[in-house]
Amino acid sequence: MSHFPEFEVIPAVDVQDGEVVQLVQGERGTGKRYGDPVEAAERWIDAGARTLHLVDLDGAFEGERANAAAIEAVVEAVERLEAGSGGTGAIDLQLGGGIRTAAGGMDLLELGLDRVILGTAAVEKPEIVAEISETYPGSVMVSLDAKDGEVVVSGWTESTGLDPAEAAARYEELGAGAVLFTNVDVEGQLSGIDREAVEAVVEAVDIPVVASGGVASVEDVVALKEAGAAATVVGTALYEGEFTLAEAQSAADAVDAGDAGEK
């Protein structure tokens, strides 16, 4: 299963109480609401998205999937759009938030998701990564959230003392198909990215690294491609209209990737 053959700008569809929200530094209650998840998903696909990044925020904090109905509605809508495109418009869907067991992850893959994102569960029970990967190779994306240079879990409230690059390498050995690296220090603030932190994780693994957190401008998107990221997840900046999906994708496409991301 080929992940991100070309650099992608991936819109985030973060769902809380059945609505799209964007949090600031992962703090609950800081969210600004942006309406219906299915409408958001359809809008981003119309705008050219090849992948959608779905997050069940209630699940991320509570440890169980609270927005299952909203997520399933998005999956069904995307399947309808794909069917209507005559097979040309394959859209990848990845979901994180509240997936705590291998069975839970596999249920979602059977539902029609392309990748499941494991964060807290992967840190606490790394064997879940291996278990899902055996049945669905390459379908696990491990989410590493870093604060002050250390991996944090449980909705960014507990530090683990793990180095993000070392953790990424460990999950690659367990069968992870990709790494989602989020710098919590800059999450949701439109304050720009930490390129060096991304480069360190990219250099540690051969699997794709998707970068997230702090993307405020098209220049940030370009810098992440140059840092070797395979893709970037963008939320707040797109919802606030700082730039369009097409602008960001075309700027990234215009960069001669050269050695970016090549090993």
pLDDT of 84 > 60? The answer is: yes
How confident is the model over 95-104, as pLDDT tens digits? 998 888 999 9
**Domains of the chain: residue spans and CATH:** 8-254 (3.20.20.70)
Banded pLDDT at 87 (limits 50, 70, 90): low
Q: How many helices (H) and strands (E) does the chain have?
A: 11, 12
> Which regions of the chain does DSSP assign to beta strands (E)?
8-16, 19-24, 27-33, 51-56, 92-96, 115-118, 140-147, 150-153, 158-159, 178-183, 209-212, 231-234
For the chain, give the percent of residues with pLDDT over 90: 53
Catalytic residues: 14, 145
Q: What is the DSSP string of 178-195?
A: EEEEEEGGGTTTT----H
Q: What is the mean pLDDT of the chain?
A: 86
> Token digits for 3?
């992940």
Task: Check: CB of residue 78 under 8 Å from CB of residue 84.
Answer: no
> Token digits for 100?
């705590």
- How far is 62 from 59, CA to CA, in rounded Å? 5
